[in-house]
Structure 1
Amino acid sequence: MSRVLAFPAGRRAKWLVLVAWLIILGAAAPFAGKLFGAVENDRLGYLPKSAESTAVLEQQEAFPQGRVNPAIIVYQRDGGLTAADRARAADDQRWMAGKYMPKTPPPPPTVSKDGKALIYQIALVAPPDKQEGNYVLDAVDAMRKHIGDPGGGLEVKVSGPAGRDSDQFLIFRDMQYQLVLIPVIVVAILLLVIYRSAVLFLVPLFTVAVANQLGSAFVYGLIKNTDLVINSMSTGVLSILIYGAGTDYALLLISRYREELARHEDRHEAMAEALRRSSGAVLASGGTVALGLLCLFAADLNATRALAPIGVLAVGSAMLAMLTLLPALLVVFGRWLFWPRAPHVGDSKRAHGFWTRMGETVQARPRRVWALTSLGLAVGVLGLLAFNVPQQTQFTTTPDSERGQTLISAHFPAGNGNPATIVANAAQADQVKTAATGSGVVGAVAEVGRAAGKVQYAATLNAEPVTAAERSAVHRLREDVHAVNGAEAKVGGPAAIQLDQRDTNVRDSWITIPLVLVVIFIVLLLLLRAVTLSVLLIATVALSFGAALGVSTLVFEYGFGWSGQDSQLPQLAFVFLVALGVDYNIFLMSRVREESRRHGTREGVIKGLVTTGGVITSAGVVLAATFAVLVALPVVSFAEQGFVIGLGVLIDTFIVRSLLVPALVHDIGDRVWWPSGLARGTRQRAERGRELAPDKSR
């Protein structure tokens, strides 16, 4: 295995590796370029099959009008609509209806009681040969271009479910290149600062870009050859994971390579030794992250399940490139890459001033250090008392659909902008309508059509769209129509879809979070062969997650003014943070284990902290910065994910891995390795080992 891992460092092998990667890149590039155009933003594909709203979407396809995604167009003038305004609205409606509803005569617009606004609905139905998300996006875009900017005090907006869907899809379409470009810029700047070399940073940056091409090509293949639902969010996470994890692995390898260049005249030998010393930690860390992400396969929500193979492919592509292409490139270019501080044989070790002081602090007062850091994290966890799952703020900006909904709510019943759909057996249609009307949460119920023994109604809810009140209204409406015997009534529509997504995410969290803990614990046991240390690491990372989510909750609520949190936030943040948090602890404890064999546990943990402090901290900053890219997205759910994961990584890097874990290990001593052999007097074995053989590794 040692020879296999060191293969890319060979004098001839490095050229074989480069040629192989040129072939891989040439084959992957055409498919990688098609990824963003192949994603699926279909409502039906996103939902779990068991959801009630899924059944409604499927049943809608049997009706003549098909599966409708309504756009609501609103016209408003503060001083009251003029005759010219109404004529303009009528012309716009005829154009839109002729283009998108050619077989259905449009009903006349509805004018508000105060005469200041009017609305009408355009039912968008994607043709069989077009993907729903892309069709809605193109249709709403065409409507907005047709309307233009009327000016003169008249305000016209395209809102409703189709308008909101379009705005969300538009954000990802416009940001798809930024989601790749911004991590590149962030990583480039950070590597330039970390290495303080004008050229060295280009090598890992190029390598991670190649890994991103490979990962993108693999995910494109998933879309084309599996039934997994891969949407715009998933592809954004792909690039962030590859750039974040790949740069981390590069930092670890280059740091060890630099150490070995000070011991070996031949750069090939130095790289071979660096690969032998660091590959195990990279493989263990990447494997841990991959196994943690695979737990998402247990989720019921299709989009969440898709993140499992995407995450594995991202981490796998990053590891493959960093353990083969990167070492080959480094060896080809030689020592001058490190200019102006190229390492030479016999160079003394670089001073670790800050980390030496950190180690001295831990060594002098380990119990006080871990007690104070644990207390600080526990205070952060208290922020969870303000956690409120129902998210009410959807966008960080005010897109057209949000402004349109504001106008609708000001002049009409709020639910006009987000109608619910009821499908039931036609024989009990009147009873279902009566039950819906008498539910107390519906303002009006209108029949949409009949087909195949079924009837479809559009119900105007009294509650404001995308609020907790609207979700409660859907709950109540479902209870009332379900009570009609024999009707087999079901409630769907945008509000019901959001409710089903939230409920599914909550159920999924109760499955995936414990599963991740069990899987990561088993992995740690296999890697470290120490029950005590494995429990300690899991506990500290879980505490770190709680603190990150608690602090973030307070920031969202009182800093950013985002009401409520995305229901998917705890699940995804936990999976990423626990997997990545354990990742850094594996980097640290791999070195600590190596040092403990020679110096004993207490001295070994301090040496491990001082030696790895700089590189792991740099890796943490890079990873946090790449996930923080999501905060730039004007969608609250993704901004929340980026903030929590970025903050959690920083907490793991600067508090858990730098202070809490070293202090606990130092305080516990050799017993931390129980039941492995290291628990039985590491110092004595180390002394005997030094007597028998010189210390070549140092």
Structure 2
Amino acid sequence: MIRALTGFSTRHPWKVIALWSVTGILLAVAAGALMPRAMQAQTGDFLPKDYDSAAALRTADERFGVTSDAGRFTVLVGRPDGEPLTGADRKNIASVAKDLGSRRVTMPDPQDTPSTSDDQIPFLVTDYSQIPKVGVSMTAPDRTFTLLSVRLEGNTVDPGMHNLFRAFREHTEDAFAEVRLRTGFTGDFADQIDTRDAEEPTQRIVGILMLGLIVLVNVLVFRSLCAALIPLLAVVIVGGAATGVIVGGALLTGTDLDTSTPSMISVVLIGIGVDYFLFLLFRFRELLRERPEAPPRAVAAEVGARVGTAITSAALTIVAAFATLGIATYGGFQVLGPAVAVAVLVMLLASLTLMPALLAVTGRRMFWPSRALERTPRPGLAGRAGEIVSRRPLAALLAATALLGALAAGMTGIRMDFGQGGTLHETRAAATAAEIARALPAGVADPATVYITAPEGNRVTPRSLGALSDELARIEGVGKVSAPTLNERGDAARIDLYLTSESQTQAARDLVSGPVRDTVADHTPKGLEAHVGGTAAIFADLSTAVDEDLRTVFPVAAGLIALILLVLLRSVLAPVVLLLSVGLCFAATLGASTLVFQHALDKPGVNFVLPLVLFLFVVAIGTDYNILISDRIREEMEGPRRARDAVARAVRHTAPAIATAGIVLAASFGSLAVGSNPSTQQIGFATGLGILLSAFVLSVVLVPAAAALLGRGIWWPVRPRGRTGQGEHPEATALKGSAADHHPRPLAVPPAL
């Protein structure tokens, strides 16, 4: 199958390139337009339905018409001089708020205003204009400001909704300025937009620097602009196709994508896409040197078939690892896993078709203007590393194990941080929230809510909830309890709790999941049903769901990877070596992250999703690199040389590809560490470090050292046997290995070529 795909692609390269180019561009354009419709920003919607906060969300939707697909924020209104509001000021606030709640908000820029003219595609046009829901919430005890609660209906990740918020903010600021009052905006939606606006310049610069680093590394390695730019351009096209497939699949199946999914897919595709192209390029250059008279298309077909097998094995390992997220209880993981798996499969298809086609078309011009093909390369660092590992495998193995073990010891005392991390930017929303917190409970802009419902045909009365409200008010950490608010039918009520801690803090989650829920369970009137919702409750339930998923996904993913390795390597011992090595690398990476963030930087702990993300990426991608070096070691051991010589030769030829790929992929993930969100910083740093350890410690030192120690026995029960000449002793034949390295070997050219 692999040989058939690569053979067809190298026989008809221009057709393959044209098909991928057109498909990738079209799918990328469609994905860009439709992506917001496929995403869901509300974490609570990804929780299992039997969780308390998920039940609260359903009650809010069914009984109060409060959908999760809405942007909620708070507007602070006060005097410019900071003095208490006068009676006239309060009248003006009420009048302006009423006016704001009766006027339709439209886009500020005519270019952003939706149109339904015949020259636009109807299903891509969205009318974001609407009448916002505005109400006066409360006034500060010192009367220095009044708060308005505002809600805009729509998907909060949609750029159109962001423009609508900006239009409302500008109109609100102007309206209150006319009556000489100042405004401030805070809350989840306002903070999300302010943070994105603050991060956008940094993210753009980081993206440019990341792409520049990839190009620079490839230029330094290959001394060629073509070899540096063509892989990157191909990966961008394939990435567009993969994103389009994922978005289209999500819309067709009615699946919501988590907001982190697009950025994660982008990083994965750039990283592994460039990695796979590098594996092909290094082998292509090696064979062109050995066979200067061979047709480039024949060499491209041979490279595609040889390296394609290792790439397929590596890609399937990543797919299997992420597919296990489909069994997670948290919906965000259920979506992320299959999405990444699909993206990797699309990149695998491109690696077996588009990339060999590009090699066939460019041939030796791929390495222009470098003249490296005309001379025999020196062994260099890779050659010396191979010699050291093969001559002193036990020392190399012990040194690598000691390094990883020392880092793994950093996990001692590890704690999980279930906070959302906040932001490092001082945004306007953050400043407004700080001003509110100085006068009111910190959670006033994002309260926890108790929803009480009556069975079909019954009603809820405020008097019946008096005891519950009184008990909730006595809880330490609850700053204020609102009066019960009934819905229109009178069969449900809501009680807002304004906590003294911000909703995304650990203190708020502990308070809601403990004393608040216990009080609700003990004092809800008989015959009524109550659920606790809000941001703090959602994240408290999220921590429980993730903890359960960690215990389930880890063993299942490890078992699947082990099974794939057994089938692909046709060995019992080799998969054990590979799995033990990547397991140690995972522990080392998590330990190093604990040392840096929890101990050195004095954070509350490591981010709660970090162990799962690290396990999937470090184990899957670490296995990816291990498969590449193992495949080359096995190939060399099938030749007429001693096992240790085969290991030295495999490291010499494969280490540069793995090292370059590791740097590129680590840079890709490391770009996440430059963002302002501390949670993303931890994921970016840890994943980048884990990939570097996988590339330079595992694949270049530890695994080759183990192979040198075990010899051909590592492949038991199907051991490769060295091919020798008739009547020739293996040791004698092995002496020819170095000479064979520099002489062309015959190339089996497919008949069609």
Secondary structure of the corresponding residue to residue 200 of structure 1: helix
Structure 2 vs 1, CA of residues 267 and 407 (structure 1 numbering), >3 Å: closer, same or farther? same
Q: What whole-Å deviation, never above 9, does each CA across 1:88-134 have from its counterpart, x for those lacking one?
A: 86676455444599797834641244x6x4341314152xxx33544
How many residues align? The count is 687
Q: Which of 176-185 and 439-448 deviates more?
A: 176-185
Residue 58 of structure 1 is matched in structure 2 by 58
The correspondence of residues 21-40 of structure 1 with structure 2, limited to 5 A, is 21-25=20-24, 27-40=26-39
Shift of 1:622: 0.6
Residue 482 of structure 1 is matched in structure 2 by 521
Structure 1 distance, partners of 2:596, 2:169, is 35
Give structure 1 stretches of 5+ with no counterpart: none
Shift of 1:472: 0.9
Structure 2 vs 1, CA of residues 30 and 465 (structure 1 numbering), >3 Å: closer, same or farther? closer
Matched, 1:449 2:478: no
Shift of 1:685: 10
Is contact 1:335–1:342 with CA below 8 Å preserved after alignment?
no
Q: What whole-Å deviation, never above 9, does each CA across 1:601-648 have from its counterpart, x for those lacking one?
A: 333222211110101100011111111122233222222221111111
Is contact 1:289–1:579 with CA below 8 Å preserved after alignment?
yes
Is contact 1:72–1:158 with CA below 8 Å preserved after alignment?
yes
- The one-letter code sitting in structure 1 at the alignment partner of 2:550 is S
Matched, 1:629 2:671: yes
Q: What whole-Å deviation, never above 9, does each CA across 1:486-539 have from its counterpart, x for those lacking one?
A: 332110011111212222112111111111111111111111122222112111
- The one-letter code sitting in structure 2 at the alignment partner of 1:260 is L
Is contact 2:2–2:308 with CA below 8 Å preserved after alignment?
no
The correspondence of residues 525-540 of structure 1 with structure 2, limited to 5 A, is 525-540=566-581
The one of 204, 215, 240 equivalent to 1:188 is 215
Matched, 1:305 2:334: yes
Residue 232 of structure 1 is matched in structure 2 by 259
Q: What whole-Å deviation, never above 9, does each CA across 1:250-288 have from its counterpart, x for those lacking one?
A: 001111111121214211121122122211011111111
Residue 399 of structure 1 is matched in structure 2 by 427
Is contact 1:420–1:461 with CA below 8 Å preserved after alignment?
yes
Residue 415 of structure 2 is matched in structure 1 by 388
Structure 2 distance, partners of 1:697, 1:509, is 51
Residue 458 of structure 1 is matched in structure 2 by 496
Is contact 1:97–1:122 with CA below 8 Å preserved after alignment?
no
Residue 628 of structure 2 is matched in structure 1 by 587
Matched, 1:553 2:594: yes
Structure 2 vs 1, CA of residues 131 and 608 (structure 1 numbering), >3 Å: closer, same or farther? same
Is contact 1:204–1:247 with CA below 8 Å preserved after alignment?
yes
Structure 2 vs 1, CA of residues 176 and 368 (structure 1 numbering), >3 Å: closer, same or farther? closer
Q: Which of 535-544 and 550-559 deviates more?
A: 550-559
Q: What whole-Å deviation, never above 9, does each CA across 1:542-582 have from its counterpart, x for those lacking one?
A: 11112112212332245556543332221122111111110
Is contact 2:24–2:239 with CA below 8 Å preserved after alignment?
no
Give the alignment's TM-score, normalised by structure 1.
0.89
Matched, 1:612 2:639: no
Secondary structure of the corresponding residue to residue 607 of structure 2: coil
The one of 400, 424, 428 equivalent to 2:452 is 424
Secondary structure of the corresponding residue to residue 424 of structure 2: coil
Is contact 2:323–2:341 with CA below 8 Å preserved after alignment?
yes
- The one-letter code sitting in structure 2 at the alignment partner of 1:145 is E
Structure 2 distance, partners of 1:468, 1:29, is 40
Structure 2 distance, partners of 1:342, 1:176, is 37
- The one-letter code sitting in structure 2 at the alignment partner of 1:415 is G
Structure 1 distance, partners of 2:181, 2:406, is 52
Is contact 1:136–1:162 with CA below 8 Å preserved after alignment?
no
Matched, 1:409 2:437: yes
The correspondence of residues 2-81 of structure 1 with structure 2, limited to 5 A, is 3-8=3-8, 10=10, 12-25=11-24, 27-43=26-42, 44-64=44-64, 66-67=66-67, 70-74=72-76, 80-81=82-83
Structure 2 vs 1, CA of residues 83 and 471 (structure 1 numbering), >3 Å: closer, same or farther? closer
Secondary structure of the corresponding residue to residue 308 of structure 2: helix
Matched, 1:199 2:226: yes
Residue 170 of structure 2 is matched in structure 1 by 145
Secondary structure of the corresponding residue to residue 443 of structure 1: strand
Secondary structure of the corresponding residue to residue 606 of structure 2: coil
Q: Which of 512-521 and 599-608 deviates more?
A: 599-608
Structure 1 distance, partners of 2:200, 2:256, is 17
Secondary structure of the corresponding residue to residue 48 of structure 1: coil
Residue 295 of structure 1 is matched in structure 2 by 324
- The one-letter code sitting in structure 2 at the alignment partner of 1:336 is R
Structure 2 vs 1, CA of residues 677 and 329 (structure 1 numbering), >3 Å: closer, same or farther? closer
Residue 327 of structure 1 is matched in structure 2 by 356
Structure 2 distance, partners of 1:96, 1:385, is 55
The one of 549, 557, 562 equivalent to 1:521 is 562
Structure 2 distance, partners of 1:32, 1:374, is 45
Structure 2 vs 1, CA of residues 108 and 300 (structure 1 numbering), >3 Å: closer, same or farther? closer
The one of 287, 297, 300 equivalent to 1:260 is 287
Secondary structure of the corresponding residue to residue 260 of structure 2: helix
Is contact 1:38–1:223 with CA below 8 Å preserved after alignment?
no
Is contact 2:573–2:714 with CA below 8 Å preserved after alignment?
yes
Shift of 1:70: 4.2
Is contact 1:369–1:659 with CA below 8 Å preserved after alignment?
yes
Q: Which of 187-196 and 560-569 deviates more?
A: 560-569
Structure 2 distance, partners of 1:40, 1:220, is 9
Structure 2 distance, partners of 1:226, 1:490, is 30
Amino-acid identity (%): 26
Matched, 1:131 2:155: yes
Q: Which of 524-533 and 360-369 deviates more?
A: 360-369
Residue 341 of structure 1 is matched in structure 2 by 370
Structure 2 vs 1, CA of residues 306 and 28 (structure 1 numbering), >3 Å: closer, same or farther? same
Structure 1 distance, partners of 2:691, 2:416, is 22
Shift of 1:4: 0.6
Is contact 1:171–1:633 with CA below 8 Å preserved after alignment?
no
Give the alignment's TM-score, normalised by structure 2.
0.83
Q: Which of 660-669 and 487-496 deviates more?
A: 660-669
Structure 2 distance, partners of 1:31, 1:105, is 35
Is contact 1:73–1:159 with CA below 8 Å preserved after alignment?
yes
Residue 163 of structure 1 is matched in structure 2 by 190
Structure 1 distance, partners of 2:283, 2:584, is 30
- The one-letter code sitting in structure 1 at the alignment partner of 2:510 is S
Q: Which of 331-340 and 543-552 deviates more?
A: 331-340
How large is the Cα RMSD of the aligned pairs? 3.4
Q: What whole-Å deviation, never above 9, does each CA across 1:205-258 have from its counterpart, x for those lacking one?
A: 221111012112101212210132213311111221111111011001111111
Residue 115 of structure 2 is matched in structure 1 by none
Residue 501 of structure 1 is matched in structure 2 by 542
Structure 2 distance, partners of 1:311, 1:648, is 19
Structure 1 distance, partners of 2:221, 2:93, is 59
Structure 2 distance, partners of 1:572, 1:653, is 18
